[in-house]
Structure 1
Amino acid sequence: MNKKSKTIYALLIILGVLILINILASRFFVRMDLTADKRYTLSDATKTILKEIPEPITITAYFSEDLPPEVGKVRKEFKDMLIEYVNRSGGNIAYEFKNPGKDDATEREAMQKGIQPILIQQREKDQTVQKKAYLGAVVSYQDQTEVIPVIQSGSAMEYSLSTSIKKLIATDKPVIGFLQGHGEASISSMSQAVKQLDVLYKIEPVNMTDSTDLSVYKTLVMVRPEDSIKQTQLDMLDNYLANGGHLLLAFDRVEGDFQSVMGKAKTTGLETWLAGKGIQVPAEMITDATCGNISVQQNNGFMTYSSQIKFPYFPIVNKFADNPITSGLEAVIFQFVSPLNYNGDSTVSFTPLVMTGNKSNAVPTPVYFNIEKKWNEKDFPESNIPVGGIFSGKLAGNTASKMVVFTDGEFPINGDGQRQRQINADNVNLLVNSVDWLSDDTGLIDLRTKGITARLLDQVEDSTKSLLKWLNFLLPILLIVIYGIFRSQRNRIRRIKRMEEDYV
């Protein structure tokens, strides 16, 4: 076989391999995820949900076209994810993309289904203009639909899609009972949290009477009780835990009164009940150098004005344990929170979840709120005081159970009616994550709290970033030039040798 035949033969082999790769690629979708946190790899929870789909699901994505690159990449990411969902579902998922900007009918269809446009800024002809963009999807199953108004990049995309599917196909949702009857926060006053919980659970109010069967509830939740709790009802909670139940408590051991400008102890019976299990919640108020503000009325002559001042009794907590409940949280705002400790035996384990910062303190009540006080470091001699944690083991009887306790009952409440307000997202997430951890067996909590690890480049100075950018651009060119010079020199040496008289 001569040299020309060998070259043709090699080219045919390469061509055949390329054709085979294309055929396989058209049948099988493969994507390598090289990110440190595997943000583009489907979670085990999603894979389980996709295997459980009983009948076909249709996903209609409404995405505008001609978007800026940083926005347009969301469409590609979503399409890639849908391809993976199709492959993992065994053919039970079908999808289509529609462009609402194509015509008025498609735009009306998107808006009627709950997909609202967002405004994005784009540079056109040396000026910034605002354009409408649609980045949503509708998940349809039988005669039901779930709307994802805005598709977000990263793990939020998978969570939105997987929970929408789970909500549609779920038949027997676990029941979560919110205890009532002692002045607790109503379900409607925690609408932000309930909206998220409603995806996976059936939420019910529970008034404990002699005939109440607590065993039907996967988890019981008590948020901010105001009145005393009867011993018979505390005994019912003990019986619930003795049968392996799960309990979440968010209650106040102290309270602040701005009318009397005082902080004082609060008793509901929970503190005594917990003390019997070795769980101590002293009547002390946490102060922290990292804190929220309050509005104070001040007079200046004939004028009255409001000013914002730091209030250390409203600590902003950003120290969390490595646990699914607190994974991905950045900061939680508490109001009049108390320390949480455990001095019981080894039958119960205590895992602190939420801790104060490096400059904090626990002040015994009663305490006077001195608005004019100038706080300094000497006022915060302590650090890492637990204000929330997990208790697991033999909390009552001989059967293992779980309980999550927070020493502030206000943190997840966003109010009723006209008093309703948006609260810090991580306050909501802390409650929802706790319920998930106690109740959910699907593993979606890991997906919802799956954060994006900070890239080291974010910590690099601008001058170094610029150097790396130019190095990344010029290095390949430089290597090609060096290789070209090397090839040229090698060929030159070969030509010289061939010209020599004794060359064979």
Structure 2
Amino acid sequence: MFETKRTIRYANTAVLTVSIVGILVAFNFLSAHHFLREDLTETEEFTLAPSTKRILKELDDIVSIKVYFSKKLPPHLMSLRRQVYDLLEEYKSYGKGNIHIEYVDPGEDPNLARRVRFLGIPQLQVNIIEKDQVQVANIYLGMAVMYSDKKGVIPMVDSIETLEYDLTSTILKVTRDQPKTVGLLMEYGPHSVDKDYSLIREALEKQYRVIEVHLKEEKKIPDTIDTLVIAGCKEIDDEAKFGIDQFLMRGGRIVFLIDPMEIRVGTLQATKIDSHLDDMLEGYGIKVNHDLVLDRVHVMASFSSGFIRFHTPYPFWPKVLEPNFAQDQPMVSKLESLVLPWTSSLEASQKEGDSVKVITLAKTTPYAWRQKEYFDLSPRQDYRAMASNHGTFSLAMLASGRFKSFYRDKDVPGTKGKAGNILKESPETHIVVLGNSNFIADWFISDFQENMVFFLNVIDWLTLGEELIGIRSRGVTDRPLIELTDKQKAVIKFLNIFAVPALVGVFGLLRFYFRRKKKKVMMSHGI
């Protein structure tokens, strides 16, 4: 009897052990092929974006990702290696067999190291502490994406925060049949791409073919351009203006960065200028005002006075916060801030019955005001005294629909009164307008990286749709203090002064009341 019980106990133990092992094996098998985890971060930073999953699912052939990471890394980069590995495993899982990943250490093969450097992945020098000594080590932290005979390179992976965007955009770039083209038109203004917009150009070239447009010579915008950026131009001649109009009529998308005011940064003087585009834009549905917008919500600006440099709050640099972006428009709905220096306000000017819809992408708080005639840009002035007629003003607008040509009932420039070939109405297309071009200039965008995100989101939405916007935007975080009215501030001040002492007094009275009640109960029982 005893032996039978022991045998049954052993058998039960064996069955339980086999069952647990079987469950663990099945669990590991399933987990190797299916990701199941909960991302509790607000923006789901550790989960692949839906657009990334969709792009990976639609791959029709093998995409090879070669990870050129050195095996010997400083301690502070060891966690980066693990994070990169985890992210790439998700890519591999959602790629359904079309993502092939290979890890290579170029430092082990001099010939391979030369080929990697030829690809555009540099050798980096870092300090490594070993045996209480600081040593200089050469390492690699790059990636290459191969598809058919095309390749794309991520020269250095120094953070996991932007890796998904960099990797997905590179995959999209190499798998696309023809690269999209962005044109930059700046020859009619004081700006140049190389001197003023090199950072923007560098960012755009990661995904697009970028070319400069020279309308003074050609008078026509090339058909190969998908999206045109017009920045800071003034006194555009009629033939160039006609070229812009006809590009839109052919279905091209345009970003107008108009400067109604010329700001001389060194002297802080402002004068009105004419871009010769205002009347055409008003015909398209957006009016650019010749004013400067100030807002109670703004950023600090840096100025020099003699040999002294100081920082001060500057309402002429308004800051757009999350609630003031269009929450139903994907290109801005996930943004949290945008800073526009010396910007002008915009108004919708479309007429009833027009086939164009105009919406505001970004606006000020209700505590903004404008300067219209006399422009005093000095940072040392009492802004509260000059603030009047508070209101909310549009700073960035989107017009979408079928646009009518500005020249539909006019003579075509350059034809000397003769009838010329003209497209009088566009297919469905879009334009985005801002009353400022400095917000993406090198001198400004280096301090306000959120401006880069806004601008690239605009270009991506106009050129590609919504594929990459969600990936880039969710890594951006800005948590400013909530702007309070004077009444709200007074209430909080009153509560801080009187509420806390009042609560202490109420607590004391309640304590006295209950102790007295307890004492009466004890006396009634003769205690």
Q: Structure 2-normalised TM-score?
A: 0.71
Distance 1:63 1:376 in 2: 58
Q: Which residue of 2 aligns with 1:244?
A: 251
Distance 1:165 1:378 in 2: 53
Distance 2:191 2:267 in 1: 24
Distance 2:72 2:263 in 1: 54
Q: Which residue of 2 aligns with 1:379?
A: 387
Give deviations 1:453-492, integer Å, cap 9, x for gaps. 799xxxxxxxxxxxxxxxxxxxxxxxxxxxxxxxxxxxxx
User: What percentage of aligned pairs have identical amino acids?
Assistant: 21
Decide whether the 8 Å contact of 1:356 with 1:384 is kept in 2: yes
Q: Which residue of 1 aligns with 2:485?
A: none
Question: Which amino acid is the alignment partner of residue 314 of structure 1?
Answer: W
- For this pair of structures, how many residues does the alignment match? 438
Distance 2:137 2:34 in 1: 32
Query: Could you tell me how far 1:275 is from its partner in structure 2?
Result: 2.1
The counterpart of 1:431, out of the listed 448, 452, 455, is 455
Closer/same/farther in 2, CA of residues 333 and 72 from structure 1, 3 Å limit? same
Decide whether the 8 Å contact of 1:359 with 1:377 is kept in 2: no
The counterpart of 1:317, out of the listed 320, 323, 327, is 320
SS in 2 for 1:57: strand
- Find out whether 1:89 has 2:95 as its counterpart: yes
The counterpart of 1:266, out of the listed 266, 273, 276, is 273
Q: Which residue of 1 aligns with 2:497?
A: none
Q: Which moved more, 1:333-342 or 1:251-260?
A: 251-260
Query: Could you tell me how far 1:388 is from its partner in structure 2?
Result: 0.9
The counterpart of 1:231, out of the listed 222, 231, 238, is 238
Closer/same/farther in 2, CA of residues 109 and 48 from structure 1, 3 Å limit? farther
Q: Which moved more, 1:47-56 or 1:249-258?
A: 47-56
Closer/same/farther in 2, CA of residues 45 and 148 from structure 1, 3 Å limit? farther
Closer/same/farther in 2, CA of residues 276 and 151 from structure 1, 3 Å limit? same
Q: Which residue of 2 aligns with 1:483?
A: none
The counterpart of 2:213, out of the listed 206, 210, 220, is 206
Q: Which moved more, 1:204-213 or 1:423-432?
A: 204-213
Question: Which amino acid is the alignment partner of residue 242 of structure 2?
Answer: D
Q: Which residue of 1 aligns with 2:496?
A: none
Query: Could you tell me how far 1:97 is from its partner in structure 2?
Result: 4.0
Distance 1:327 1:271 in 2: 28
- Find out whether 1:393 has 2:401 as its counterpart: yes
- Paired residues for 1:177-192 under 5 Å: 177-183=183-189, 185-188=191-194, 189-192=196-199
Question: Which amino acid is the alignment partner of residue 176 of structure 1?
Answer: V
SS in 2 for 1:411: helix
Q: Which residue of 1 aligns with 2:471?
A: 447
Decide whether the 8 Å contact of 1:333 with 1:411 is kept in 2: yes
Question: Which amino acid is the alignment partner of residue 431 of structure 1?
Answer: F
- Paired residues for 1:395-474 under 5 Å: 395-396=403-404, 397=425, 399-414=427-442, 422-441=446-465, 443-451=467-475
- Paired residues for 1:330-409 under 5 Å: 330-345=336-351, 347-370=355-378, 372-376=380-384, 379=387, 381-396=389-404, 397=425, 399-409=427-437
Q: Which moved more, 1:255-264 or 1:392-401?
A: 255-264
Q: Which moved more, 1:12-21 or 1:397-406?
A: 12-21
Closer/same/farther in 2, CA of residues 334 and 17 from structure 1, 3 Å limit? closer
Q: Which residue of 2 aligns with 1:461?
A: none
Closer/same/farther in 2, CA of residues 310 and 244 from structure 1, 3 Å limit? same
Distance 1:454 1:425 in 2: 11
Q: Structure 1 stretches of 5 or more lacking a match?
A: 299-303, 456-504
SS in 1 for 2:358: strand
- Find out whether 1:20 has 2:26 as its counterpart: yes
Closer/same/farther in 2, CA of residues 64 and 359 from structure 1, 3 Å limit? farther
Closer/same/farther in 2, CA of residues 118 and 360 from structure 1, 3 Å limit? farther
Decide whether the 8 Å contact of 1:184 with 1:225 is kept in 2: yes
Give deviations 1:171-219, integer Å, cap 9, x for gaps. 4101112224422633323121111211221111223367625433211
Distance 1:378 1:195 in 2: 41
Distance 1:268 1:412 in 2: 19
Q: Which moved more, 1:275-284 or 1:192-201?
A: 275-284
The counterpart of 1:326, out of the listed 328, 332, 342, is 332
Question: Which amino acid is the alignment partner of residue 251 of structure 2?
Answer: G
SS in 2 for 1:337: coil
Q: Which residue of 1 aligns with 2:225?
A: 217
- Find out whether 1:196 has 2:203 as its counterpart: yes
Query: Could you tell me how far 1:250 is from its partner in structure 2?
Result: 0.4
Query: Could you tell me how far 1:96 is from its partner in structure 2?
Result: 3.9
Decide whether the 8 Å contact of 1:193 with 1:429 is kept in 2: no
Closer/same/farther in 2, CA of residues 454 and 15 from structure 1, 3 Å limit? farther
The counterpart of 1:78, out of the listed 65, 78, 84, is 84
C-alpha RMSD of the superposition: 3.9
Q: Which residue of 1 aligns with 2:164?
A: 158
SS in 1 for 2:213: strand
- Paired residues for 1:278-293 under 5 Å: 278-289=285-296, 290-293=298-301
Q: Which residue of 2 aligns with 1:482?
A: none
Distance 1:276 1:167 in 2: 36
Give deviations 1:294-329, integer Å, cap 9, x for gaps. 42425xxxxx64544444323343343333333554
Closer/same/farther in 2, CA of residues 236 and 111 from structure 1, 3 Å limit? closer
Closer/same/farther in 2, CA of residues 71 and 381 from structure 1, 3 Å limit? farther
Q: Structure 1-normalised TM-score?
A: 0.74
Closer/same/farther in 2, CA of residues 395 and 377 from structure 1, 3 Å limit? farther
Closer/same/farther in 2, CA of residues 380 and 106 from structure 1, 3 Å limit? farther
Distance 2:376 2:86 in 1: 59
Distance 2:478 2:342 in 1: 32
Query: Could you tell me how far 1:337 is from its partner in structure 2?
Result: 0.9
